[in-house]
Structure 1
């Protein structure tokens, strides 16, 4: 017997459960066969006893003498009581194979599981995504175990349970299992708590194997490749061999559709704008084999004779046409048509940009394409604010003109304010970071080609940089800068670019040079015996930077497979002005991603670099003590190079340490508003940094059982070293100085576990890290270390070493985005 449904031919009747043969399905009809689960043993006995009594009373031809009519109800009652006692003797709190009439509207689902009789092809998560019945998640169970917390119940719907059986059966049939046996016979009902534990019992049966795959032409008899000649035919053969099923593999409806769509896409990318495809599958349900037939009507190869632009108002047609990777007269390509759509969206000028091939065109050697656009608002204003523990209250505002002076040019005026108000200064990081920056920038999206764009900016800023010496200026600001910058970006491939940027700026650094007279380590900052002198260091910055992003990955935003390389080279130049920071800096980052299973992957990162000062910068920074370079000159250049040097530590580097502090550091005392009644003192660690750095990270990324696809966990190990620091000036700086050479014994190691949650804006990441080999300062309070260093520097013989704290080995990192 044979039937046909949606291009599928079934060559034999399907065998039912228990070896019985089900009737063949009529064309276009589907019959639902449900296996009724057996009732409970006790309940079965009750039902059979009452059924026997009813038949006994109603039967007129029973051979044995019946009791009198008045004794009939008594007999029924006695036998019913006996049957009920037997039923009650069976456990009632947790009964397996409960019929659905024992549940009510208050029954809730306690769990949903799957039981496999033999093989298991799909994971529990894949199967759970196919059904409507839901149980409590792992997080729901945790909430219920905690006091004063509760979650919404998951009501049980018997009708949905039966529909889920149908859904699972259809899912298996679409994925190559023609005779799956699905039931809920293992379901358990707890009548005392009125909860049900749903268990689907699954017997997959033999898979459907691909026996033959054929590509035919529009007449359904000739070979499809005969429609092509020359290079097109060779290209078709390569494409066919790379996309077709492999004989002997399991047949799935998804792959069949994917191959058909791939064939159509491949033809349209080679100029066949009017190509048509179809497919059928002949299934032998006895032999469990499938023969695939693809029907291909390529039609004529067409060139683009007209490009229509509809919906543009202030944006000229020429701007739209220049963003397209093709022009009139080129061969049609659906891939280039979509690429043009992406380019138009990248201009940020349009809310809608749709690429179309208008219907109703004749199937000939020319084709008309159309871009339907809808412009966004040309001028808009954005504002945002927030709070950070390190930065305090923050705010940012931007005014943007999307089509400044035409040509899709974008003008932006922005202001950033990191006020420092409400910031919390910890014992293992520096003082509040304040920044006020104003920027005006112009972006040109098209420079000779759509792959090259440029941005030019002018900026001015003042900041309170905790790495520099404190000052008594407004809000403790100790640095300022004004200048201009330009950046050219070339898109090699999507998400892989090369850029060249240049910055020319005038920088100012302020400090309050205070010489204290006989101040003890615990002297009061409000009124010390001191003489304060304001000092200012003004210098030029001329910096050229070249960088690139190379490699290949399956997803460039959140990759799970691939390798990416990000090299860079930076130089502080003496052109066109004498630069106050003369150096060459080079480095890079190598990241790799490899899946181990469908949901478990590993990632690794290697990062490093080196700084080489030259000219006067090198002579000052490397001159020995007392060799003609004053301590003041050395201090100025050291401050200038603070943003140039390398550091280790932080949520995206060597976890377990605060930002920059996984390496050499020194304890500092910072006094704000010195000499006033409101003077404030903070003790923090300041990173020393170094001219060279190497860091490594390895991370295993795993799902969080029971919490769904958006939740994940991670286990990680980080390591890093910074070396080639500057020559020490004091005893405490000598102890905190960076090592002079690379050595594995000088690495800092951190390990831990993390929790991940995928949000619409990226991963929310929480990591708990443990310092495996902390240094002297890592386990001690900076105030105690500062006093200890001052005591040793004073030559006192009674300096007690600060006590170490175990809890300083732990560090909790909360951030957005993957670690790498």
Structure 2
């Protein structure tokens, strides 16, 4: 009997945890039935996860009122920054959660209004029931939890309306510049209208944040260009006059020390001579520092095609001599290239070419290019050599030559020529070339005897090229003017001057360059001899894939009784095409071209032979593949085919 009470105690102790669990469960159930929120302050997004997917959410729409519809940029900025709009597809389970989103948007909207110059702007929000079918509306019930009617009853949709009062925009009254010199002294300088325009501001303009901030950056850039490489922005002070609705801005600029260019250090050079790389700098030794010269030097390094990457940076602070060191960091690319291509036309047949190029032959960017080409019309070899920085930084020695065998409708035979000259770049897009040339030809044509010509003379040209891409230009233009006086050195006697101008222009309709109008024109003539005294290849011809598509190669112009071209002493050509890139890789190009060759040294008329066609382009990483179909609009019976087809790489011009 004595052990019985102890046994009962043990039993009770085992039942105690179970009783506690039952009590807690009942309490929790009771709390839940009374609507007590046990979610411990979790946000709207976490509320749904705790309560389960079956908890109803409150669908809502957002409405912005009070903003002038003409303020499209402001409306777009408000919508872009809105949290309630961004999370509209994830509605909260409570009106309290929706109110929190509204409060967040009120702060965001106020900041946007200020950035657009509305410093007195006010924003308020209101929750309303979304109008039902009867058109009635009212204030949304200020509930903080889902409805007590049960989970089967869905909450009514509401409208979150933002009431925005922009007020009048503030205007820029004035802008001052506060300079802090190297010694710490300060000086204030008001910016006049001309100086304001240089940094993108104007007196009386709306005081929007973005142009005001950008103006500060431009001011610092101006000091960089004015020999202060270490200039940086100081404090910017903005004072608003609520009565006058104006804003005044003071820009602080810490100039740092004035500097000149110092020593240049090159790193990363392997096969290219380091001193040669340093010579790409565009500034004179000891010249005043300018970021524009730094940028120009980067462009020069990129144009050399010697490097995969090249940077030009400040190498340290201004030293005691007032000089700032410069560091050039390069990563050399492969200097040898092997390539080739093929082309086809119904008149010329199939042709192909291959080349080998070395762009650093002796360690100082000397370029040697060897090329072989063969088609049904001509076969031969070409060689070209150039040595940059020939006595002057932007000047190159140029040597080229070729030997070819021709078998065209105009002439047959051999030709060899050579050229030695100097090429000099000036301004941004201009290049001039001048030098001596010598050639030998033995050609037989329809209107020329089989005579050997040994010619010598001069060749000069001026060229401007601002195009965006050599194989597929979408903007810019090209212009080339040439003149070449030649005289006999032996063989048949002749003396003449040929000159011409050739140009093209490219006008894009969109920033991406997917729609471009391209046009070209050519005018050339030869003076000093009659046509019969000119070597066959020094006469002018027109027609074919490189001039007027739709006609056979060299077939436009005077013909003999066998319909073979005899050439002329002047030529006129023109062309226009619309390049429409309809997808990433496909383009469509309708075009029209015209041209003619004349007996006289000057065109006797503008009576041209026209052709029209349609081209397809397949765009690749190296350039577009070109397929053109062209019809002669002034077809001559017995001389011209019904159509021509061309297949090549790159645009027609």
Same fold per TM (> 0.5)? Answer: yes
- What does residue 254 of structure 2 align with? 297
Tell me which of 211, 214, 224 is aligned to 2:175: 214
2:224–2:290 Cα contact (<8 Å) kept:
yes
Match of 1:266, SS? helix
1:456–1:485 Cα contact (<8 Å) kept:
yes
In structure 1, C-alpha distance between the alignment counterparts of 2:258 and 2:386, rounded to whole Å: 39
- What does residue 539 of structure 2 align with? 645
- What does residue 521 of structure 1 align with? none
In structure 2, C-alpha distance between the alignment counterparts of 1:395 and 1:565, rounded to whole Å: 27
In structure 1, C-alpha distance between the alignment counterparts of 2:478 and 2:271, rounded to whole Å: 40
Tell me which of 724, 749, 754 is aligned to 2:610: 749
Whose radius of gyration is greater, 1 or 2? 2
In structure 2, C-alpha distance between the alignment counterparts of 1:304 and 1:249, rounded to whole Å: 39
Task: Give 1:743 deviation, angstroms.
Answer: 2.6
What do the CA deviations read for 1:727-754 (whole angstroms, capped 9, x no partner)?
xxxxxxxxxxxxx96234x222345666
In structure 1, C-alpha distance between the alignment counterparts of 2:627 and 2:207, rounded to whole Å: 42
Task: Give 1:583 deviation, angstroms.
Answer: 2.0
Q: Does 1:585 align with 2:498?
A: yes
1:356–1:370 Cα contact (<8 Å) kept:
yes
Tell me which of 344, 348, 358 is aligned to 1:400: 358
1:508–1:538 Cα contact (<8 Å) kept:
yes
Task: Give 1:505 deviation, angstroms.
Answer: 2.6
- What does residue 372 of structure 1 align with? 329
- What does residue 243 of structure 1 align with? 199
2:551–2:640 Cα contact (<8 Å) kept:
no
Are the structure 2 counterparts of residues 294 and 467 from structure 1 closer, same or farther at C-alpha, using a change threshold of 3 Å?
farther
- What does residue 567 of structure 2 align with? 689
| Equivalent residue runs for 1:530-541 within 5 Å | 537-541=451-455
Task: Give 1:302 deviation, angstroms.
Answer: 0.8
Q: Does 1:610 align with 2:471?
A: no
What do the CA deviations read for 1:262-315 (whole angstroms, capped 9, x no partner)?
44433222211101137869799x999987664422222112232222233454
| Equivalent residue runs for 1:293-332 within 5 Å | 294-332=251-289
In structure 1, C-alpha distance between the alignment counterparts of 2:206 and 2:625, rounded to whole Å: 39
Task: Give 1:340 deviation, angstroms.
Answer: 2.6
Are the structure 2 counterparts of residues 663 and 225 from structure 1 closer, same or farther at C-alpha, using a change threshold of 3 Å?
farther
Q: Does 1:502 align with 2:439?
A: no
Does 493-502 or 710-719 show the bigger shift?
710-719
Tell me which of 424, 436, 441 is aligned to 1:490: 424
Match of 1:687, SS? coil
What do the CA deviations read for 1:331-370 (whole angstroms, capped 9, x no partner)?
1112212323333444444444321102566799331111
Gaps of 5+ in 2: 1-42, 45-55, 62-67, 81-88, 91-104, 124-163
1:651–1:815 Cα contact (<8 Å) kept:
no
What do the CA deviations read for 1:118-145 (whole angstroms, capped 9, x no partner)?
66979xxx99xx9xxxxxxxxxxxxxxx
2:627–2:648 Cα contact (<8 Å) kept:
yes
Task: Give 1:242 deviation, angstroms.
Answer: 2.7
- What does residue 463 of structure 2 align with? 549
Match of 1:574, SS? strand
In structure 1, C-alpha distance between the alignment counterparts of 2:442 and 2:70, rounded to whole Å: 72
In structure 1, C-alpha distance between the alignment counterparts of 2:365 and 2:523, rounded to whole Å: 37
- What does residue 657 of structure 1 align with? 551
2:382–2:400 Cα contact (<8 Å) kept:
no
Q: Does 1:776 align with 2:651?
A: no
Give the structure with the larger strand fraction.
2
Q: Does 1:451 align with 2:394?
A: yes
In structure 2, C-alpha distance between the alignment counterparts of 1:510 and 1:663, rounded to whole Å: 18
Q: Number of aligned pairs?
A: 511
- What does residue 465 of structure 1 align with? 407
In structure 2, C-alpha distance between the alignment counterparts of 1:695 and 1:447, rounded to whole Å: 37
Task: Give 1:483 deviation, angstroms.
Answer: 4.5
| Equivalent residue runs for 1:470-485 within 5 Å | 478-485=412-419
| Equivalent residue runs for 1:48-59 within 5 Å | none
1:720–1:749 Cα contact (<8 Å) kept:
yes
Alignment RMSD, CA only?
5.4
Does 360-369 or 395-404 show the bigger shift?
360-369
Task: Give 1:446 deviation, angstroms.
Answer: 1.1
In structure 2, C-alpha distance between the alignment counterparts of 1:563 and 1:305, rounded to whole Å: 37
What do the CA deviations read for 1:469-519 (whole angstroms, capped 9, x no partner)?
5xxxxxxxx533445321311101233111114321333347999xxxxxx
Q: Does 1:724 align with 2:599?
A: yes
In structure 1, C-alpha distance between the alignment counterparts of 2:444 and 2:579, rounded to whole Å: 49
Gaps of 5+ in 1: 1-30, 33-50, 52-96, 100-116, 131-157, 160-165, 181-203, 421-431, 470-477, 514-534, 623-636, 669-684, 727-739, 784-807
1:491–1:497 Cα contact (<8 Å) kept:
yes
Task: Give 1:695 deviation, angstroms.
Answer: 3.0
- What does residue 298 of structure 2 align with? 341
- What does residue 31 of structure 2 align with? none
2:359–2:367 Cα contact (<8 Å) kept:
yes
What do the CA deviations read for 1:138-195 (whole angstroms, capped 9, x no partner)?
xxxxxxxxxxxxxxxxxxxx89xxxxxx9xx9xx999969999xxxxxxxxxxxxxxx
In structure 2, C-alpha distance between the alignment counterparts of 1:663 and 1:343, rounded to whole Å: 44
Match of 2:488, SS? coil
- What does residue 567 of structure 1 align with? 481
In structure 2, C-alpha distance between the alignment counterparts of 1:595 and 1:352, rounded to whole Å: 29
Are the structure 2 counterparts of residues 649 and 581 from structure 1 closer, same or farther at C-alpha, using a change threshold of 3 Å?
same
| Equivalent residue runs for 1:791-802 within 5 Å | none
Match of 1:277, SS? strand
**Normalised by the size of structure 2, how large is the TM-score?**
0.62
2:224–2:231 Cα contact (<8 Å) kept:
yes
- What does residue 442 of structure 1 align with? 385
2:619–2:625 Cα contact (<8 Å) kept:
yes
Task: Give 1:239 deviation, angstroms.
Answer: 6.1
In structure 1, C-alpha distance between the alignment counterparts of 2:522 and 2:197, rounded to whole Å: 41
- What does residue 188 of structure 1 align with? none
What do the CA deviations read for 1:577-621 (whole angstroms, capped 9, x no partner)?
56765321112135456677878775554421211243xxx4xx4
Are the structure 2 counterparts of residues 120 and 446 from structure 1 closer, same or farther at C-alpha, using a change threshold of 3 Å?
same
Are the structure 2 counterparts of residues 741 and 296 from structure 1 closer, same or farther at C-alpha, using a change threshold of 3 Å?
closer
Task: Give 1:570 deviation, angstroms.
Answer: 1.5
In structure 1, C-alpha distance between the alignment counterparts of 2:344 and 2:500, rounded to whole Å: 30
- What does residue 105 of structure 1 align with? none
Match of 2:409, SS? coil
1:281–1:290 Cα contact (<8 Å) kept:
no
- What does residue 414 of structure 1 align with? 370
